[in-house]
Amino acid sequence: MTYGSQLWLEQNGKLDQHASYVCGGVRRWPGLFIGCLLSLIMLTGMLGTGASSVAAAAKSDITDKVVYLSFDDGPGKYTPEVLDILHDAGVKATFFVLGQHAERKPEMIKRIHREGHVIGNHTYNHEYSELYRDFPSFWQQIKRTEDIINSIIGIRPVLVRAPGGTYGHFDHTYFELLKNGGYAVMDWNVDSGDSKRRNVPAAEIVAHATAVPSGMSNALVLMHDGGAHAETVKALPDIIRYYKQQGYRFEVMQPSDEPVQFQVKPAAKFKNRPSPSVEWIAKHVEANTSQWTSAKSLKIELGYRTVELQPEEYRIKEQKVLVPLRSYINKLGGNISWDQATGTATTWWKDRILQINPAMGTVTSKRLHEQGGSSVHAVMESRNGTIWVAAGELMEQLGAKGYMMQSRDTEWVITLDPPWTSMEYSHSFSFL
């Protein structure tokens, strides 16, 4: 195990789990593994190509300030209000969710994902006595929550946050085995204090959530949307306003970010904690890495027809599957043209016309002979003359009611919920 430089905050002469942390100091990704992991890990969870890493920003000019808003313990009663505020402010955040709450509120998990936020794993039930008695117990909760989230949105989260933070809870075994299993553990370096006690007032939450230590250019802010956190909702607009006024960029956490992690606290209780056997590690941890490092084909199921793409024919951004627009529309049997003057692509398929503007990130949809149309923002990018658009959002604008993504052993599958009849399917598609 190697250690990087350590950055300590000290309060009253001693370190605690909220005041001390190591910025990327607990572990480094092995050089050989990172190339494979970062290119293929995006197929499973905390994905995206545009976010600046914590490490990169730390090495850049101090004026390049980034803030990562994070919310733990949800989805809960106040999650809809948090999402509304983030939407109105045009800000994305990272939600570390509990499996037991995800089971009860699957629609909220879908909304978090649909609105472009990142979902992380916060274990199943948050019970310290279970999670920190031995590593297999912690692992079981991570996998249980991962399976629940995957069943809802077809994404296996890579980001993990330990309930209560890693300080005083994790020993080196926890860090090493989670890393070897393909996960990225992320603590925080700015604590809003909204869980210090019951009913912490909004003004106090704002003060703590904006107390960025001098010289720090990357703020990972801890807040909560689960439990009784009405005051956090009240504080959130002021927190967002502060960081905007101070010139911060808002980003979501990515597995490729340099981890912010608390130090391992020497504790006698760790000496009595049983270590997993070599056989258990091989069966569970080592076998787990295959789900991150196996390139999978992508199938998009439209009723009785299926579009299949090989790994090199699609990409991932912001937890969305992006497909090459022209190739994809051709596979559907539609037509497409490009207007150089307006910088827009126009597609025709069935009774729908779409206009895609990659510069604006918008898709405008209307039916044939219809005036106007409706516009939505979609995840997309333009690379080397090819426009890549989120497949699910694209199909929704082409008339699908919704979609669900699932991970299977050898493939990713997007299942669309179309309004068309099987007879329409039988003569409306032409696939290459």
Report whether 294 contacts 409 (CB < 8 A). Answer: no
> What's the CATH fold of domain 22-293?
TIM Barrel (3.20.20)
Top pLDDT among 206 and 270 is at 206
Q: What is the mean pLDDT of residues 111-133?
A: 95
The 10s digit of each residue's pLDDT in 247-259 is: 999 999 988 788 8
Q: Do the bridges between strand 184-185 and strand 159-160 make them parallel or antiparallel, or are there none, so unpaired?
A: parallel
What does the DSSP assignment read for 194-226?
Answer: TTSSTT--HHHHHHHHT-PPTT--EEEEEEE-S
Name the pLDDT band for 419 (thresholds 50, 70, 90): low
pLDDT of residue 39: 39
The 10s digit of each residue's pLDDT in 194-229 is: 999 999 999 999 999 999 998 888 999 999 999 899
pLDDT of residue 1: 34
Name the pLDDT band for 414 (thresholds 50, 70, 90): confident
Q: Considering the chain, what percentage of its residues have pLDDT values greater than 70?
A: 80
Q: Where are the domains of the chain?
A: 22-293, 297-428
Top pLDDT among 12 and 189 is at 189
Report whether 194 contacts 205 (CB < 8 A). Answer: yes
Q: What is the pTM of this model?
A: 0.62
Top pLDDT among 24 and 242 is at 242
The 10s digit of each residue's pLDDT in 45-65 is: 433 333 333 433 333 334 579
pLDDT of residue 293 exceeding 50: yes
Top pLDDT among 31 and 333 is at 333
Top pLDDT among 381 and 345 is at 345
Find the helix or strand (DSSP H, E) in which 366 lies: strand 362-367
Residues 6+ apart with CB under 8 A from 25: 3, 4, 5, 6, 7, 261, 263
Question: With the CA atoms of 167, 170, 174 and 180 taken in that order, what torsion angle do they form, in degrees rounded to the nearest 10?
Answer: 10
pLDDT of residue 284 exceeding 70: yes
Find the helix or strand (DSSP H, E) in which 150 lies: helix 135-153
pLDDT of residue 219: 96
Helix (H, G, I), strand (E, B) or coil at 232: helix
Which residues are designated catalytic?
A: 72, 224
Count CB atoms within 10 A of the CB of residue 1. 9
Kindly give the residue spans of alpha helices, DSSP state H, lying in 225-351.
230-245, 268-271, 278-280, 287-288, 290-293, 325-331
The two most distant CA atoms of the chain are separated, in Å, by: 75
> What's the CATH fold of domain 297-428?
Copper Amine Oxidase; Chain A, domain 1 (3.30.457)
Cα(339)–Cα(302) distance, rounded to whole angstroms? 29
Count of residues in the chain: 432
pLDDT of residue 294 exceeding 90: no
pLDDT of residue 128 exceeding 90: yes
The 10s digit of each residue's pLDDT in 309-320 is: 887 788 877 667
- CA nearest neighbour of 221 among 329, 67, 325, 52: 67
Top pLDDT among 5 and 23 is at 23
